[in-house]
Amino acid sequence: MALVEVLLGVAVLACLLYYYATSTFSHWAQRGVPHLPPKILFGNIKDIVTFRTLHVYGYQKLYHHFDGLPYAGIYQMRTPSLMLRDPEVIKQFLVKDFAHFHDRGIFCDVERDPMSATLVNLSGRKWRNLRTKLTPSFSAVKLKGMVPLLNECADSLVALVGASAQDGEVEMREVMAKFTTDVIGSCAFGLHFNTLKDPDSQFREMGRRVFLPTYARTATHLTRVFFPALLSVLHLRTVSKEITDFFISLVRDVIQFREKSGETRNDFMQLLMQLRQQEKADRDVNDNVAKEEAVVLDDRLLTAQVFIFFVAGFETSSSTMSFCVYELAVNEHVQEAARAEVDAILAELDGQPITYEHVAKMTYIEKVLLETMRKYPPVPGLVRVCTKPYTVPGTKVHMDVGSQVFIPTFAIQRDPDIFPDPDRFDPERFSEEGRKTWHPFAYLPFGEGPRICIGLRFAMVEMKLGLARLLQHYKLLPSPSLPVPMRFDPKGFVLTAEGGINLRIQPRHSSTA
């Protein structure tokens, strides 16, 4: 009798699990949206979840399955997602109907996982209010004031490349990671961590740990996106306690030093400190500010914003610059055109440091970077969540609150119907004439609409200046071991070159250059 009860219990549990795993699988059929039949547990992303294929290629395959359609339904595990394909439809969701899709739906827990409470993850009024407060830190005036710091970091970058060359070769991915770490240390904290000179820098090590590609970290990311409730059940954190404690301690030390010394700097930290002081003054005047509208910049929330400045700037800029020097090395004519622009601008400066105004003149280098981000988007896919009931214009497709929208950036930016010969590196796609051949919302490396990357202009100034200084001093050539075409690390959730990017470096004053 006991055995029968056990078997019955197992059968009931199995039925309940099956129902849970498949209960959403009629979602798109009920709404008349084209879709693929989902598989139990995995939906339409089994090969991605099991690491049989790199995520960008998995979504690219799904994207092309629905060629000719403006959108289609997919199942990410058991989560129904409306995959947007047509740039005009994407514009509708990200801009025209932004009020329905202003949140990313990313897990955020200030108490248990403080570093998750970033501008990227926050939702609703808290996101809007914080975004409004932080926007001035990336104005042209602020960026102009940071250029001297960027020049110092670029000096160290040039020196490091020369010092790192072994038999004429340099692993550029690591070099760029050190450069962007130093930039962020200077412009966010007002501190010089010297990661370019000190390979054992703790700050650099923390950056490395945040982005170290591992299957476990990718699995945690997938859990955060598709099963956020499990993070609490399994006691998982998106950022380890060690990294969290390091940044909280660092931020507190900087704040205490500045408050005691009265020192002020033209950096991101100073703006956050000013915002916190203003916020406290506002609360003292009006205690009736609605709780859901308030953005209380305590030590943890303030640290989270510094952390996302570090994370977003570190990974997106370093990976973009790494892929950019790769493309310059294998496309010599592009490199020479970029170098000619740099030489002309440096001639105007007559030995003086590069200024913000002269960075703005680097139009060809900007096109090179934009084309790099077309081929290698820092964020290979965008997610939005419906925040109030919505019907897709011109259709009967209804979306409830919580419904997910997915935009496969990598697939769109490598669609041959939008960008002919998409694997070819061609900066002229971003010339005035080239831009007329494709829809603006087919290019989304920084996102678009009100939630476009707040640090876009900072990133472009940083990358343009760093690349200009490299081209001023060195010629970049592919090493014999450099893979062509590029191979990506299968463990990385963001695009990462497998095995690094090894280039041969020739000083321009060399007789062989």
The pLDDT value recorded for residue 191 is: 65
CA angle 287, 292, 295 (to 5 degrees): 70
pLDDT band at 9 (very low <50, low <70, confident <90, very high): confident
453 in a known ligand binding site: yes
* Higher pLDDT, residue 299 or 339: 339
CA distance 140 to 153: 20
DSSP-H helix ranges across 236-298: 241-261, 268-285
Give pLDDT, residue 510.
47
DSSP letter, residue 36? P
pLDDT tier at 316 (50, 70, 90 boundaries)? confident
Is pLDDT at 491 greater than 50 in this prediction? yes
Higher confidence at residue 81 or residue 510? Answer: 81
The confidence score (pLDDT) of residue 220 equals: 60
pLDDT in tens, 43-79: 999 998 888 899 999 999 999 999 999 999 999 988 9
> Largest Cα–Cα distance in the chain?
93
In angstroms, the CA 305 to CA 85 distance is 32
- The answer for 144, left when phi > 0, alpha when psi is -120 to 50, beta otherwise, is alpha
Closest by CA to 274, choosing from 258, 288, 286, 285, is 258
The predicted model scores a pTM of 0.89
